Amino acid sequence: MPVTTLEKNSHTQSSIVMNPELEQRLVSIETKQLQPFCFSYRFTDAMLMGADIKTVAKYLDAHQGWFTRCARPMTANPLGKNGYALTIGKFNSFGYVVEPKIGLELLPQDSGVYRIKTVEIPDYTPPGYEVSFNAQMRLVEAVNGDKLVTNVDWDLDLNVYIQFPKFIYKLPTGVIQGTGDKLLKQIVNRVSKQLTHKVRQDFHGNLT
């Protein structure tokens, strides 16, 4: 069967009619190339707080104070009662620059477990990306010598979907995926290290 056939209409204009099977295949290829890439990272960490579990929980419950302070240099603007619009900073990969901004809701604790999830930011449409952020923190009291301390264990399941400009899709898929996953890991590790240090510092500073 020929790929195309030439037809003439009553106005003697010619048009190209494409084989339907080939047309569908080309549409599928184009659609596949333009699908967003999904970069994922699962992360676990812990921080030791030098106080009993009730004192630590009281501090974490009052996130309206410590979250905005400890998020710096990131910008955290209040979003409802328990949420924040968080601007993480600018990142560059393959010459494509993105400045992630996500809405996070810090849910009230449930039996010593805190959860954080993504929420929409009103009147804001992410330019070419979408973030799925699901984290939880668990408080575990322990004895250190003659003092009660609390371990804050937390884990994060993060997925970032990015719709790159068309020129990026000319690169090998494996290169894009590997580079994106690596960059996401670096960002999470850096932010986590900074945030953990600042939270511990802020907490112990408020104890004295």
In a shared domain, residues 87 and 18: no
User: How many degrees, rounded to 5, is the angle at CA 163 between CA 162 and CA 165?
Assistant: 130
Q: What is the pLDDT of residue 8?
A: 39
Percent of the chain with pLDDT over 90: 51
Question: What is the SS3 assignment for 91-105?
Answer: EEECCEEECCEEEEE
Tokens of 24: 């569908």
In a shared domain, residues 87 and 179: yes
Q: Is the pLDDT of residue 121 over 90?
A: yes
In a shared domain, residues 98 and 67: yes
Classify the C-alpha dihedral 198-203-204-208 as positive or negative: positive
Q: Do residues 173 and 38 touch, judged by C-beta distance below 8 A?
A: no
Q: What is the pLDDT of residue 10?
A: 41
pLDDT, tens only, 142-190: 998 889 999 999 999 999 998 888 888 888 999 989 988 998 898 889 8
Greater model confidence, 3 or 60: 60
In a shared domain, residues 156 and 85: yes
Q: Do residues 14 and 6 touch, judged by C-beta distance below 8 A?
A: yes
Which pLDDT band, with edges at 50, 70 and 90, does 35 fall under? confident
Q: What is the pLDDT of residue 78?
A: 93
Q: Is the pLDDT of residue 1 over 70?
A: no
User: What total number of domains does the chain contain?
Assistant: 2
Q: Look up residue 89 and give its amino acid.
A: G
In a shared domain, residues 23 and 44: no
Q: Do residues 21 and 124 touch, judged by C-beta distance below 8 A?
A: no
Q: What is the pLDDT of residue 126?
A: 85
Q: Which has the minimum average pLDDT: 96-100, 120-124, 177-181, 185-189?
A: 96-100
- Ramachandran area for residue 20 (φ above 0: left; ψ -120 to 50: alpha; else beta): alpha
- φ/ψ of 122, rounded to 5, equals -55, 140
Greater model confidence, 105 or 7: 105
Tokens of 3: 């790929």
Q: What is the pLDDT of residue 29?
A: 44
Range of the domain at 5: 1-30
In a shared domain, residues 89 and 6: no
- Ramachandran area for residue 36 (φ above 0: left; ψ -120 to 50: alpha; else beta): beta
In a shared domain, residues 135 and 95: yes
In a shared domain, residues 69 and 25: no
Q: What is the pLDDT of residue 4?
A: 38
In a shared domain, residues 1 and 71: no
Beta-bridge mates of residue 99:
none
| CA–CA gap between residue 86 and residue 103 (Å, rounded) | 6
- Distance (Å) of CA 85 to CA 32, 58, 78, 81, 92: 32, 23, 6, 12, 21
Q: What is the CATH classification number for the domain harbouring 134?
A: 3.30.530.20
Which pLDDT band, with edges at 50, 70 and 90, does 21 fall under? low
Q: What is the pLDDT of residue 208?
A: 64
In a shared domain, residues 194 and 96: yes
pLDDT, tens only, 7-20: 334 444 434 455 56
In a shared domain, residues 138 and 195: yes
Q: Is the pLDDT of residue 70 over 90?
A: yes
Q: What is the pLDDT of residue 89?
A: 75
In a shared domain, residues 124 and 184: yes
> What is the average pLDDT across 67-71?
92
